[in-house]
């Protein structure tokens, strides 16, 4: 079914902050699939050549490079953040101040920012967080209307998908010569996001949708045998129980990121722009 037969009048211009694996895919999707409804008009990346390379590959006359994320926010109707958890809360706050809607991919950066949720208004300045690399967020939302008892997530990634994580560095955990499967982390979503800020955004989103970052339990497992990023979620509540398992293909240009994460932004954009909203 074509969900894009009408234009959402709320936004016509889109700006992208972060022109890496996710940003590049989303930019090409907007250009090829959403051109009737909206345009990508602004790009910003802290590494200027990344934004310039993307701009060149798009060959989009109406799109320009910005010199800061603040400039970008002021020039568009909708902002997409696909940059870093170190800056996502600052971007979300700036969008709220400017009354601009924003899609946040680096959701781990929002966990300690309760004020953001309190200030989120019902009009412009809304924060959207796509389901990213996991399945089941719709169910957690529905379950949270009643009582949820427990939420667990087990993430499995190949060693290169966890490389450089602060938790591994601080605990002198080397995965270079790993011969077998190993549980590298067990703890709360809040601790997981601190220890693996670039690898475990999904647990941050799951915790925000369900029991919060301190009551959501996270396990991270790796093995030299793994070729995919998988996420297994178990939720128990008044509704019953649900288990989902997502087997993700890593994005070739960033093995920490799953291909599905970029697809989820594209799907959200389609939903925001279309007249029909399927799913919770």
Ligand X SMILES: NC(=O)c1ccc[n+]([C@@H]2O[C@H](COP(=O)([O-])OP(=O)(O)OC[C@H]3O[C@@H](n4cnc5c(N)ncnc54)[C@H](O)[C@@H]3O)[C@@H](O)[C@H]2O)c1
Q: Cα–Cα distance between 112 and 40 in angstroms, integer? A: 30
| DSSP annotation of 76 | -
Q: Hey, how many other C-beta atoms are within 10 angstroms of the C-beta on 164?
A: 11
CA atoms within 13 A on the CB side of 253: 9
Write down the least CB distance from residue 28 to ligand X, Å.
Answer: 13
Strand, helix or coil for residue 196: coil
Active-site option among 231, 246, 250, 263: 231
Between 7 and 75, name the residue whose CB sits nearer to ligand X. Answer: 75
Dmax (CA) for the chain in angstroms is: 55
Write down the least CB distance from residue 70 to ligand X, Å.
Answer: 11
Between 66 and 148, name the residue whose CB sits nearer to ligand X. Answer: 66
Write down the least CB distance from residue 251 to ligand X, Å.
Answer: 6
Between 82 and 192, name the residue whose CB sits nearer to ligand X. Answer: 82
Write down the least CB distance from residue 248 to ligand X, Å.
Answer: 9
Residue 231 appears among annotated catalytic residues:
yes
Q: How far is CA 27 from the centre of its chain?
A: 15
| DSSP annotation of 160 | G
Between 37 and 107, name the residue whose CB sits nearer to ligand X. Answer: 107
Between 73 and 83, name the residue whose CB sits nearer to ligand X. Answer: 83
Long-range contacts, 65-71 (Cβ 8 Å, 24+): 66/15, 66/42, 68/44, 69/17, 69/44, 69/94, 70/94, 71/42, 71/44
Burial status of residue 259 (CB atoms within 10 A of its CB: 0-12, 13-18, 19 or more): middle
Write down the least CB distance from residue 14 to ligand X, Å.
Answer: 16
Which residues are at the interface with ligand X (CB under 6 A)? 17-23, 44-47, 50, 69, 82-85, 87, 105-107, 132-133, 198, 201-202, 205, 254, 257, 261
List, by residue number, the catalytic residues: 231
């Amino acid at each position: 079914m074509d969900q894009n037969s009408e234009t959402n009048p709320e936004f016509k211009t889109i700006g992208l902050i972060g022109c890496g694996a996710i940003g590049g895919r989303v930019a090409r999707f907007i250009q090829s699939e959403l051109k009737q409804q909206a345009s990508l008009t602004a790009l910003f990346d802290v590494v200027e050549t990344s934004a310039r390379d993307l701009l060149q590959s798009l060959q989009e006359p109406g799109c320009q490079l910005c010199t800061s994320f603040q400039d970008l926010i002021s020039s568009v109707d909708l902002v997409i953040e696909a940059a870093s958890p170190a800056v996502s809360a600052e971007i979300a706050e700036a969008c709220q101040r400017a009354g601009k809607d924003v899609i946040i991919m680096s959701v781990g950066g929002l966990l300690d920012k309760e004020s953001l949720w309190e200030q989120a208004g019902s009009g412009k300045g809304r924060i959207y967080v796509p389901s990213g690399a996991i399945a089941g967020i719709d169910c957690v939302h529905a379950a949270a209307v009643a009582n949820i008892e427990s939420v667990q997530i087990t993430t499995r990634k190949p060693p290169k998908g966890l490389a450089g994580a602060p938790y591994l560095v601080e605990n002198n955990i080397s995965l270079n010569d790993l011969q077998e499967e190993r549980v590298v982390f067990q703890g709360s979503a809040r601790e997981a996001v601190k220890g693996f800020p670039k690898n475990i955004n999904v647990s941050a989103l799951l915790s925000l949708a369900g029991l919060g970052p301190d009551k959501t339990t996270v396990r991270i497992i790796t093995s030299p045998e793994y070729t995919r990023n998988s996420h297994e979620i178990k939720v128990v509540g008044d509704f019953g129980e649900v288990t989902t398992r997502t087997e993700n293909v890593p994005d070739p240009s960033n093995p920490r990121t799953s291909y599905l994460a970029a697809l989820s932004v594209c799907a959200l954009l389609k939903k925001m722009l279309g007249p029909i909203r399927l799913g919770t």
